[in-house]
């Protein structure tokens, strides 16, 4: 058997002597490997993005919403708060209102919350402080409200007018002073609630303006992510009993006038979405790699035909069929190595560009890059098997007479 170093030198010489053929061969691998790395990286990036979105909603959150009006009162909040495994709870009630600043009016969702809302919903402020139960006409506003929604920016101590519609014809208006501005909001996945465009006011003041005493629902925090599902189920059962649901109907979700969702459930759903997206992107990438491998095989077969006379000369010099097979396999593997390196660089660069453009987390697992490189080598090896065997089986006399 020809030594590996000598085989490598001969294979490199063949590659450099046929630059166009080698470039086309490597190009097929580059496209396939780049597609695999970029698409798998994008799938992982979307997965991380979904996970970040959910975890930014709150800390081990449990969200309860009434499906009917006049359903949640202090009694229901007490039931949630007294459930084992619950660390904190805040009432939550939302309604579209007219928000006026400097004679400019916008329709914005205004939410009434309790003083614990910032803790259970992980609301971070860039300026000011959060609402407490002693506050009256103060508001916490989102980043977009402060900086983009109106013609002039708002700051802490700015004054805004909030107008709620009561019934068909009546309205009630109060002036609120901005007490805090939300920083880097991410809460976008619970019932369309988005801190980026939030206006939060004390829920007692909101109910006073509306002439109501009920809440739309509650936002609670569980103490342990490992048991959040059990805690959520217990909250669900206790509330169902308080609404008069019989024991035999407790397992029937449709019989309940409320819905309960928690962080674990949303993470499970987003994981499924991310897995489906990742599988789709990976399938597209593998198709690209398959097409590339077919192209490599075709070019290698053409190479065998073009080098028929060269093969005959090598055999006449004493090279065996095994030596010829080895030479062609080394050449295919080297092309795979070159394609893997270049494809890896192209794939990483492309994925980084797309992820940065879409403001997604940049995710490049080392295992992904290593796998992409070995896939390229494997593709080069597998694609070169048949052409190499064909070259090895050529008879020296026929090869030398080939024109």
| pLDDT tens track for 190-199 | 444 567 788 9
User: Of 52-66, 89-103, 130-144, 354-368, which range is least confident?
Assistant: 52-66
Same domain, 279 and 155: no
Inter-helix orientation angle 263-306/366-392, to 10°: 30
Same domain, 97 and 17: no
For tokens 């070019």, the residue is: 299
pLDDT at residue 121 is higher than 50: yes
Residue partners of 78: CB distance under 8 A and separation at least 6: none
Same domain, 147 and 293: no
For tokens 């560009």, the residue is: 353
Same domain, 96 and 40: no
From CA 32, how far away is CA 34, in angstroms rounded? 6
Same domain, 80 and 217: yes
Cα-Cα-Cα-Cα dihedral of 69, 72, 73, 79, to 10°?
Answer: 170
- Token representation of residue 347: 């794939």
What was the pLDDT predicted at 25?
75
Last residue of a domain, one of 167, 197, 223: 223
- Provide, rounded to the nearest whole percent, the portion of the chain with pLDDT above 70: 86
Closest Cα to residue 147, out of 175, 117, 126?
126
Is 263 inside any structural domain?
no
Same domain, 80 and 166: yes
pLDDT at residue 112 is higher than 70: yes
Is 341 inside any structural domain?
yes
Domain tally for the chain?
2
What was the pLDDT predicted at 97?
95
Is 98 inside any structural domain?
yes
- For 252, list phi and psi in degrees, rounded to 5: -90, 105
Same domain, 356 and 397: yes
In eight-state DSSP terms, residue 67 is S
Highest average pLDDT, of 41-50, 273-282, 337-346, comes from 337-346
Is 240 inside any structural domain?
no
Cross-strand partners of 110: 95, 199
HSE-up of residue 151 (Cα within 13 Å, Cβ side): 6
From CA 391, how far away is CA 319, in angstroms rounded? 12
Is 14 inside any structural domain?
yes
Same domain, 274 and 397: yes
Model confidence pLDDT, tens digit, residues 306-363: 666 666 677 777 777 777 777 777 877 887 788 888 888 898 899 889 888 888 888 8
Is 238 inside any structural domain?
no
Model confidence pLDDT, tens digit, residues 65-100: 888 888 899 999 999 999 999 998 999 999 999 999
Is 259 inside any structural domain?
no
- State the Rg of the chain over Cα: 33
Last residue of a domain, one of 223, 246, 277: 223
What was the pLDDT predicted at 128?
93
Task: Please tell me the pTM assigned to this model.
Answer: 0.64
Same domain, 83 and 194: yes
From CA 117, how far away is CA 175, in angstroms rounded? 22
- Token representation of residue 370: 């290593």
Q: How much is the mean pLDDT over the chain?
A: 82
Q: What is the largest CA-CA distance in the chain?
A: 103
From CA 379, how far away is CA 35, in angstroms rounded? 14
Same domain, 215 and 273: no
Q: Which domain holds residue 135?
A: 61-223
For tokens 């959910």, the residue is: 54
Q: What Å distances lie between residue 120 and 89, 101, 202, 227, 254, CA to CA?
A: 7, 29, 16, 17, 27
- Residue 198 and residue 182 in contact, taking contact as beta carbons nearer than 8 Å: yes
- Residue 383 and residue 28 in contact, taking contact as beta carbons nearer than 8 Å: no
Is 368 inside any structural domain?
yes
The stretches of 175-262 forming alpha helices (DSSP H) are 203-210, 228-242
Same domain, 299 and 392: yes
Same domain, 47 and 118: no
Last residue of a domain, one of 189, 223, 257: 223
Model confidence pLDDT, tens digit, residues 167-202: 788 999 999 999 999 986 554 444 445 677 889 999
């Amino acid at each position: 058997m020809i030594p590996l170093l000598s085989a490598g030198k001969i294979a490199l010489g063949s590659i450099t002597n046929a630059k166009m053929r080698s470039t086309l061969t490597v190009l097929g691998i580059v496209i396939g490997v780049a597609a695999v790395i970029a698409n798998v990286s994008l799938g992982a990036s979307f997965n991380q993005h979904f996970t970040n979105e959910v975890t930014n909603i709150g800390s081990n959150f449990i969200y309860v919403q009434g499906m009917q009006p006049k359903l949640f009162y202090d009694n229901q909040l007490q039931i949630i708060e007294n459930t084992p495994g619950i660390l904190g709870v805040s009432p939550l009630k939302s309604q579209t209102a007219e928000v006026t600043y400097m004679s400019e009016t916008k329709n914005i969702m205004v939410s009434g919350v309790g003083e614990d809302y910032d803790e259970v919903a992980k609301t971070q402020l860039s300026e000011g402080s959060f609402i407490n139960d002693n506050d009256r006409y103060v508001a916490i506003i989102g980043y977009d409200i402060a900086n983009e929604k109106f013609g002039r920016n708002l700051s802490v101590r700015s004054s805004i007018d909030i107008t709620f519609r009561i019934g068909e014809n009546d309205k009630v208006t109060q002036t609120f002073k901005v007490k805090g501005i939300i920083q880097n909001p991410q809460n976008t996945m619970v019932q369309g609630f988005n801190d980026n465009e939030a206006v939060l006011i004390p829920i007692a003041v909101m109910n006073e303006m509306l002439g109501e005493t009920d809440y739309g629902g509650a936002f609670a925090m569980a103490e342990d992510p490992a048991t959040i599902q059990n805690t959520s189920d217990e909250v669900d059962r206790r509330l169902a009993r308080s609404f008069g649901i019989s024991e035999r109907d407790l397992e029937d979700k449709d019989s309940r006038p409320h819905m309960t969702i928690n962080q674990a459930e949303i993470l499970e759903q987003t994981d499924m979405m991310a897995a489906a997206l990742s599988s789709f992107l990976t399938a597209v990438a593998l198709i690209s790699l398959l097409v590339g491998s077919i192209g490599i095989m075709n070019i290698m077969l053409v190479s065998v035909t073009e080098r028929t006379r060269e093969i005959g000369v090598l055999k006449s010099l004493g090279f065996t069929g095994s030596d010829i097979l080895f030479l062609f396999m080394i050449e295919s593997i080297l092309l795979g190595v070159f394609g893997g390196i270049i494809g890896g660089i192209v794939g990483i660069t492309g994925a980084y560009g797309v992820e940065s453009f879409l403001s997604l987390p940049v995710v490049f697992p080392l295992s992904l890059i290593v796998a992409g490189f070995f896939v390229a080598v494997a593709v080069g090896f597998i694609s070169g098997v048949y052409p190499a065997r064909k070259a090895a089986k050529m008879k020296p006399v026929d090869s030398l007479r080939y024109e």
